[in-house]
Amino acid sequence: MKTAIIVLCMATMVLANEPEDVSPPAPGGSDIEAQDTGQNDSWGMGRIARAARQMSKLGDWDKQVPSIEKSLDRFWEENDWNDEADLFALEAVRGVAEIPPWEISRRVEFLTGEFGARYGMNQSQIGDLQSQCYQMIGAVAIRHGGTMFKHVSEMVESLQAGEPVTPEDIARWVDEGEGAIEFAHQQIENINERIATDMNDKQREVFLRDLASYRKRMERFEDMRERWKAGGWHPREWGLEEIPEYKKMMTERVRDGRYDEKKWRQFDELQKARRVYEQKSQETRYNESAWERHVREFIATYALDDAQAETAWSILREKRQQATDVRRSEQWRVARTAILVPLSERSLERIRGLFEELCRRLDRIPTNTQKKAAESSLHTVEQSPLEKNPSESPAIPVSENAIP
């Protein structure tokens, strides 16, 4: 069970529990272990190899596997990762867990073999994937090997002393490991992009389904990571709630008011609301910083003269100020909580209404002659492209001073 805790903590640090990231929780193959030299330290792998060997202090690896798999199962269950692609990912991770973390070559070969079978890859594709994986592991090692070694060492020391990992430990490790997480994620996405370009249609269909599932898990992981950083980690998320030392720790924290379940459930709900808000805020109707583009296109489409254009800009200034007032009216909500609160659905709809009012007032500016000329133009559209398909039009941050 102690090693299971290490594995899950390292998954938090370096995304090791995602199948697309074929680096193991603590890469450091037997060849690296045998040749742990200054040269290896120079590119980071020596430190990761030593981190892996730290885990061996907790006992025979084979005896740890059942507890690791139980914890992984609970981790997936806790997050409702239960579609077909999720279950494939879980089985892949369980297979990796059976291989000691210091045997990097076996872990990479196992995972690339799993991918090869799932996507019907040929040997050339599998070989290319393995090469990319080793490059990624090396890149993560160079940049973040030291952080990984530090965290694993601290975890091992804590568990050897019979002390449970605390929410404060997790918060600090997640915070300090944020750079590693972001860098590893970018490396994974780079590999995903290269893999997809070398696949046939049948392979790509399955791969893209898995990729969508992976990104869904990543979104949930990011939400959890924010909560953990704020101190809201709970042992049950890793299947540890019935372990005596963890049960005692959490009982004391609840009794002393150091852990409030209601507060952290609210945190999760707000994280979900923020994700919806961020998606909506990229749409023109909800993002007044992008309304300028709509006005510029409108002026060009109808060939407005200077006076007409000034009227359009004036309307924009008015509506953007009103939208700012809507946002400011909710600032008290942020002031009353330490949690960053997104705009309410009601406020978002008020901002959307302001954009629609902007469009209606703009429509009254062109003369009938200008409208007919625009309609006959090959480049004329009935609505701004932003208004017709806002989800495909990224917000363009602009300064208020950019508006005439």
46-75 residue pLDDT tens: 666 677 677 777 778 888 888 888 888 988
- Can you tell me the distance from the alpha carbon of 366 to that of 404, in angstroms, rounded to the nearest whole number? 19
Q: Is the pLDDT reported for residue 396 higher than 60? A: no
Q: Is the pLDDT reported for residue 337 higher than 60? A: no
Distance of CA 371 to the CA centre of its chain: 46
Q: Output b/e per residue, 236-258; b: 16+ Cβ within 10 A.
A: ebbbbeebeebeebbeeeeeeee
Q: How confident is the model at residue 31 (pLDDT cuts 50, 70, 90)?
A: very low
More confident residue, 79 or 377: 79
Q: How confident is the model at residue 378 (pLDDT cuts 50, 70, 90)?
A: very low
- Give residue 110's pLDDT: 94
With pLDDT > 70 as the criterion, what percentage of the chain qualifies? 76
Q: Are 374 and 380 in contact (CB under 8 A)?
A: yes
Q: Tokens 């190899």 belong to which residue?
A: 49
- Can you tell me the distance from the alpha carbon of 70 to that of 77, in angstroms, rounded to the nearest whole number? 10
- Can you tell me the distance from the alpha carbon of 311 to that of 358, in angstroms, rounded to the nearest whole number? 11
Secondary structure element (H or E) that encloses residue 143, with its range: helix 123-160
Average pLDDT of the segment spanning 239-253: 88
What's the full length of the chain, in residues?
404
- Give residue 86's pLDDT: 93
Q: Are 3 and 58 in contact (CB under 8 A)?
A: yes
Task: Please report, to the nearest 10 degrees, the dihedral formed by the alpha carbons of residues 171, 175, 176, 179 taken in order.
Answer: 150
- Can you tell me the distance from the alpha carbon of 212 to that of 319, in angstroms, rounded to the nearest whole number? 38
- Give residue 122's pLDDT: 92
- Give residue 49's pLDDT: 67
End-to-end, the C-alpha distance of the chain in Å comes to 65
More confident residue, 25 or 84: 84
**Domain locations in the chain?**
2-259, 271-402
Task: Please report, to the nearest 10 degrees, the dihedral formed by the alpha carbons of residues 168, 172, 173, 175 taken in order.
Answer: 140
Give the range with max mean pLDDT: 213-217, 237-241, 363-367: 363-367
- Can you tell me the distance from the alpha carbon of 327 to that of 28, in angstroms, rounded to the nearest whole number? 51
Question: What digits encode the pLDDT tens for the residues 131-169?
Answer: 888 888 888 888 887 888 888 888 888 877 888 889 999
Q: Is the pLDDT reported for residue 312 higher than 90? A: yes
Q: How confident is the model at residue 380 (pLDDT cuts 50, 70, 90)?
A: very low
Q: Output b/e per residue, 145-178; b: 16+ Cβ within 10 A.
A: bebbbebbebbbebbeeeebbbbebbbebbeebe
Q: Tokens 């363009």 belong to which residue?
A: 396
More confident residue, 305 or 286: 305
- Give residue 357's pLDDT: 92
Quote the mean pLDDT of the chain.
Answer: 77
